[in-house]
Structure 1
Amino acid sequence: MTPTFEPTVPRERVQALMQAEQARYARTHARSGERFAQGQQAWLYGAPSHWMRRWIGGWPLYVQDAQLPYGARFVDVDGNGYADFCLGDTGGMCGHGHPAVVEALARQARVGSSLMLPTDDAAWVGEELSRRFGLPYWNLTTSASDANRACIRLARMVTGRPRVLVFSGCYHGSVEEAHVELRDGAVAMRNDIHPNGFPHDQLSAVVEFNDVPALERALRAGDVACVLAEPAMTNYGMIAPAPGFHDALRRLTRETGTLLVIDETHTISSGPGGYTRQHGLEPDMFVIGKAIAGGIPAAAFGLSAETAERVWQVLPKLHPTKRQSAHAGFGGTLAGNALTVAVMRAVLSQVLTPEAFDRMLLLAQGLAEGVNASIAAAGLPWHATQVGARVETLFCADAPRNASDVRRTRDGELEALLHLYMMNRGVLITPFHNMMLCCPGTTEREVDEHNAAFAEFVRECKG
């Protein structure tokens, strides 16, 4: 029997606070509200992307300008300033307006942005990706979704198997095979995004994160082409791998002839080589996205030498007198465009440096310590968890082991209140759950502002 959800803050208090915060937001974000009303006339969900509709408050705030010098702050059209811990849900992990990014954009734009031809920057970027992440062969795409789809396609080509195994509660972009979850022990489409009859059970296998016996049973069936996984789950509440889980995952995939794809779109904040390098993981394919081009749409996937050799058996390397079929392409004609590659070189050489990660990790530690101190002082059964430069507040006492644990304790009303409360006090956190990220431009000032606002939030929740 599923335990009954027990809120940690009385519902009447949450609702009263929410009513007050919504009124405050309406007063202080009126111009953003006008922009959003105008947007209803042209955009499907009122703004250029449906993600922008996810912000709480009734409408998204509209950005006016960055707060200079370079860093993690901006001003909206109503004149409100913000410490930004959302950072474009990692797409802005370099911060806003880094001079190296701006210079690379301007320099390459004068030459050409999209030529479908390589430039001198390409050789450097390819070598740097190999050096940082430990896989020798790479391909660029325009998004991590595209990179994940390419890895799945290649895995099916070289294994001849149909299914992709993911962990319940995962998110890997707009990959159909990953929009699944365990529901009452069966595979179901997450959020019911497809009608009945969609063959998700034929395309996907799903197990809980950290459940090694279930993982082994699924892989021993022999029909899984690849496991697609974050090294630590970050999109359903942050869930850390249990001790020994990655060793078991790598052993079982090798024993069953299944390719292992590690998606580090979020966990790249763990260090210059991501979680994979920090913890010595050995994926067959590796995906990195969002952060590597300073906010320009870009991603990359890497292959081990053995996996590349298998791919070349299906899709041979370029022959001097023959052209490869374009229908095997990954990411479209904009993938690897000259503008993106120029910015990637600037990011990897001047922005996301080892020294920058050292600062980011230290600031994130201060963020987590501040949150946990406020929680402890109030005696609330919450906690903050940290993965790299990313921190999340969870409204439960114990760290979750899987998505089911998160689902049992998740408090959507309290989450919404926290987001709006912080936004009304000039602190932006990721709108999907209580996730924060530090960037090279984050300073102690932003951390202190967040922790002060969060301490105030805790006091108001206690009453």
Structure 2
Amino acid sequence: MTASGISPSAVEAFAQRERERFIARNPKSVALAERARNSLYGGVPMHWMADWSTPVPLFVERAKGARFYDVDGHEYIDFCLGDTGSMFGHSPDPIAKAIAEQGNNGLTTMLPGEDAVICGELLAARFGLPFWQVTATATDSNRYVLRWARAITQRKTLLVFDGCYHGTVDDVMVRYRDGETVPRSGLLGQAYDLTQHSRSIPFNDVTALEAALAQGDVCALLCEPAMTNIGMVLPEPGFMQQCRELTRKYGALLIIDETHTISTDRGGCTQLWNLDPDFFVVGKPIAGGVPCGIFGCSEAMAEAMTAARKKASEGSHGHGHSGMGTTLSANALAMHCMRANLEQVMTETAYAHMLPLAKRLADGFRSLIGKHDLKWSVTELGARSEFQFCPVSPKTGAEAEAAFHDELQMALHLYLINRGILITPFHNMTLCCPSTTADDVDQLVSMLDQALTELLAIPGARE
């Protein structure tokens, strides 16, 4: 018997049946997958697109609102939403209009327009930080903010929480194991020792947090207000406030990355919980699905950034290079779409629709867990909810990871895909958008109920 309460043999029998169903149901995806192997590494344009539960990639034809349609003509209710990239639905009308408007007016010029000024004003009003910069992705934002933090503090060590998610920044690719910081498993092509200047500690551990900061070498704590990629892990009451107090006490900066947790509120957890960071990062959904990232800073940080730039240029010839920015950063298309998103899409009305539906879904998950007598739990945060294979919601990344059951998770996901429902891969997280309906939520709960009923009916499933 596994920690999930369901035998591996039953899971495999269930999954094999669903793999056969998928192949029979999706001949055009199967054909495209075979064709793609001749030109795309792994048969997909980015290798992790092959890591879903399906036996071959599911090829999408179009998407709108809370739905997408595959090349075989099947319709899906989407609770993944591009893993937050389309948090407000696929191709919201104001974003589609903005793309069309900007299409004939220039896509990138490496110069600002009025949209940039308006976006800066909107971001300052929404998130409470006065100054902003625009990047291509949240990974870029985190990378650049880390450079600023090291330049400002003249310290090198970055502090992160075990199991964190901040994109593909090199410095965050570490884990906490047996009291030590170690490189993240599976990391490819790493040329230098990440543990020299990165330190990982457990989430929700104030003692470990203070001990790490007390060493006096930490430039910044880079964190999500709630962990979202190792499985959802919520902060204990007061923990994020202690992060703010202790970073100040020991001279480190606080960087809040809300790329996923922006699902809580139009101002994120930062405004909702009054977190008062030195730097604030968001990517993915900020321009309505068009690639874009942002970071904001306090007035004190802006002054420190100016001083750091001046110091770095002393004695140099020419303008030098800060190590930040790409040619496509803050391009005209992204800026026009971000303006439309902030003004017309990412609204109080949108959140007022999303949040109750996510609550309805979380309650539905809890009812299924009780009905099927499973020792699982449910974690919810804003428009997100997740069922986890552990009796109590995890408090650390290690606890969340220990609850993983990849085979069971993928089997359940595939069952749902075969019946027109998509949830986030790699764990059991769901996201509701402004186009999601109560019927959509109820259909997911019903299909998961059906999946569990069929799985548990397999002989020996509970042995």
Q: TM-score, normalised by structure 1?
A: 0.95
- How many angstroms apart in 1 are the aligned matches of 2:431 and 2:3? 29
* Residues 238-288 of structure 1: per-residue CA shift (max 9 Å, x gap): 000011211211111001110000000000010110111111111100000
Find the counterpart in structure 1 of residue 152 from structure 2.
158
Find the counterpart in structure 2 of residue 76 from structure 1.
70
Q: Which of 231, 234, 240 is matched with 1:240 structurally?
A: 234
Find the counterpart in structure 1 of residue 62 from structure 2.
65
Gaps in structure 2 of 5+ consecutive residues: 458-463
* Residues 152-179 of structure 1: per-residue CA shift (max 9 Å, x gap): 0000001111111011111211111111
Give the CA deviation at 1:180: 0.7
- How many angstroms apart in 2 are the aligned matches of 1:461 and 1:268? 35
1:54 aligns with 2:47: no
The 1:275–1:323 alpha-carbon spacing in structure 2 relative to 1, beyond 3 Å, is farther
* Residues 338-381 of structure 1: per-residue CA shift (max 9 Å, x gap): 11010001111111100101110011111111111111111111
Give the CA deviation at 1:33: 1.6
The 1:316–1:45 alpha-carbon spacing in structure 2 relative to 1, beyond 3 Å, is farther
Q: Which of 275, 294, 301 is matched with 1:300 structurally?
A: 294
- How many angstroms apart in 2 are the aligned matches of 1:15 and 1:252? 48
Find the counterpart in structure 1 of residue 13 from structure 2.
16
1:446 aligns with 2:425: no
* Residues 175-220 of structure 1: per-residue CA shift (max 9 Å, x gap): 1111110123221111241578731111201100001101111110
Find the counterpart in structure 2 of residue 142 from structure 1.
136
Gaps in structure 1 of 5+ consecutive residues: none
- How many angstroms apart in 1 are the aligned matches of 2:105 and 2:442? 43
1:206 aligns with 2:203: no
SS in 1 for 2:104: helix
The 8 Å contact of residues 4 and 390 in structure 2, kept in 1 or not, is answered as: no
SS in 1 for 2:300: helix
Give the CA deviation at 1:431: 1.0
Q: TM-score, normalised by structure 2?
A: 0.95
Find the counterpart in structure 2 of residue 260 from structure 1.
254
SS in 1 for 2:132: strand
The 1:230–1:111 alpha-carbon spacing in structure 2 relative to 1, beyond 3 Å, is same
- How many angstroms apart in 2 are the aligned matches of 1:190 and 1:32? 33
Q: Which of 447, 450, 453 is matched with 1:456 structurally?
A: 450
- How many angstroms apart in 2 are the aligned matches of 1:184 and 1:229? 21
Q: Which of 91, 95, 106 is matched with 1:101 structurally?
A: 95
Find the counterpart in structure 2 of residue 113 from structure 1.
107
1:289 aligns with 2:286: no
1:273 aligns with 2:267: yes
SS in 2 for 1:392: strand
- How many angstroms apart in 1 are the aligned matches of 2:430 and 2:175? 25
The 8 Å contact of residues 231 and 275 in structure 1, kept in 2 or not, is answered as: yes
The 1:394–1:324 alpha-carbon spacing in structure 2 relative to 1, beyond 3 Å, is farther
Deviates more, 1:405-414 or 1:359-368: 405-414
- How many angstroms apart in 1 are the aligned matches of 2:435 and 2:4? 36
- How many angstroms apart in 2 are the aligned matches of 1:7 and 1:107? 51
The 8 Å contact of residues 363 and 389 in structure 1, kept in 2 or not, is answered as: yes
- How many angstroms apart in 1 are the aligned matches of 2:42 and 2:325? 25
Find the counterpart in structure 2 of residue 432 from structure 1.
426
- How many angstroms apart in 2 are the aligned matches of 1:193 and 1:61? 26
Query: Counterpart amino acid of 1:83?
Result: I
- How many angstroms apart in 2 are the aligned matches of 1:238 and 1:6? 18
The 8 Å contact of residues 91 and 289 in structure 2, kept in 1 or not, is answered as: no
The 8 Å contact of residues 357 and 438 in structure 2, kept in 1 or not, is answered as: yes
The 8 Å contact of residues 2 and 8 in structure 2, kept in 1 or not, is answered as: no
Give the CA deviation at 1:397: 0.9
Query: Counterpart amino acid of 2:195?
Result: D
Q: How does 1:5-44 map to 2 (within 5 A)?
A: 6-44=3-41
The 8 Å contact of residues 141 and 335 in structure 1, kept in 2 or not, is answered as: yes
Q: Which of 348, 352, 357 is matched with 1:363 structurally?
A: 357
- How many angstroms apart in 2 are the aligned matches of 1:348 and 1:119? 17
% same residue: 44
SS in 1 for 2:280: strand
Find the counterpart in structure 2 of residue 335 from structure 1.
329
